[in-house]
Amino acid sequence: MTRRDVVVIGGSAGSHKPLAQTLARLPSDLPAVVLVVLHVAPGARSTLADSLARSCALPVLPAVDGTRLEPGRVHVAVPDRHLLVDDDVIRLSDGPRQNRVRPAVDALFRSAARWCGPRLVGVILSGSLDDGAAGLAAITATGGIALVQDPTEARFPGMPTAALRVVPDAATLPAIDLADAIVEVAGKPITAGAGPPTPLVWETDMLAYGTSNTPDRGPPVVLGCPECSGGMYAVRTGRAAHYVCHVGHSYSPQSLSAVRDDSIEAAVWTAVSALQEKVMILEELVEQAQTAGDPTAADDFRTEAGRAARAADGLREYVHPPPSAARTVAFRRPAGG
């Protein structure tokens, strides 16, 4: 009999405490395996499992490629590797980054949705932006259960809020109650769900193997991948949408917007620098014209320099608006979770 026996947990900024609270309240005989992804820097030491193990009755282990999923264990993603599920086996992948990070919550959630479907419990914790929302939507679309930390208590409510926007029926709970909700459904019998949609198969193949025989990637969109400049496809799951390029880089809407903001700011500062250099050159020309006794040319150069200086000031204000304008012109967004 098929049972609900796989729990996937994802979070980012501010999620360590609620994750530790949740794991500490899970019993040693939990009839499910737990897989955890928190966003960590690529060069970070893999110490999260040791930290969490101190207060958890279950064994907490760094994820190891090729390990079979067995109930009663917690496997934690390691730096710079996606934690994936592949036919009840853990896979670690250095495949394309998703939402500019590796490991990524969506990578785990979507691969687990493909292979485990209704056996899943997906949990979203504190974090910025909207990583995990598309993955949670995939979990519910394939028959799994969704749990979300209450955004009002999350240190960074972005990820929980985004998850609830696309999965409004998810159970919303304080962190202290998430473990009880997991225990309540873990090990319960379930009915088989529908197979995964083909875009999900293609995307998870690309993450795990770098290639796929599945032709359906979703409809192409007029967007270029920020990392490789390749064409992108829109993948929709219920209310959720994200964008995947032909090699597998993936972006949620908010993450893609944040990348574009970075590109715009870089371009603006380049323009400001060029305008300031033009002002310096024109000021030299003003001085030359005055020395040569040509006041008309000096006035023309001075007028042009003033116009360039005002343009530079306007662009600088666009990047860093005054406090009153900043409330309505939100140019900068957080760069990541």
Which class for 264: exposed (0-12), middle (13-18), buried (19 or more C-beta within 10 A)? middle
> CA 226 to CA 245: how far, in whole Å?
9
* 131 flagged as catalytic: yes
* 300 flagged as catalytic: no
The catalytic position among 131, 242, 250, 255 is: 131
Retrieve residue 91's tokens. 């896979």
The catalytic position among 39, 75, 242, 249 is: 39
Residue with tokens 């990348």: 259
Provide the 3-class DSSP secondary structure of residue 316: helix
Cα Rg for the chain, rounded, in angstroms?
25
Contacts of range 84-89, beta carbons closer than 8 Å, 24 or more positions apart:
84/108, 84/111, 84/204, 84/207, 84/208, 85/6, 85/35, 85/111, 85/112, 85/114, 85/115, 85/116, 86/111, 86/115, 86/208, 87/115, 88/115, 88/116
Asked if residue 33 lies in contact with residue 68, where contact means CB atoms within 8 angstroms, the answer is no
Asked if residue 64 lies in contact with residue 90, where contact means CB atoms within 8 angstroms, the answer is yes
- Cα 140 from chain centre: 19
Torsion of CA 44, 49, 55, 57, to 10 degrees: 170
Q: Which residues pair with 85 in a beta bridge?
A: 90
Asked if residue 76 lies in contact with residue 60, where contact means CB atoms within 8 angstroms, the answer is yes
Is the C-alpha dihedral spanning 98, 104, 107, 109 positive or negative? negative
* 39 flagged as catalytic: yes
Active-site annotation, residues? 12, 39, 131
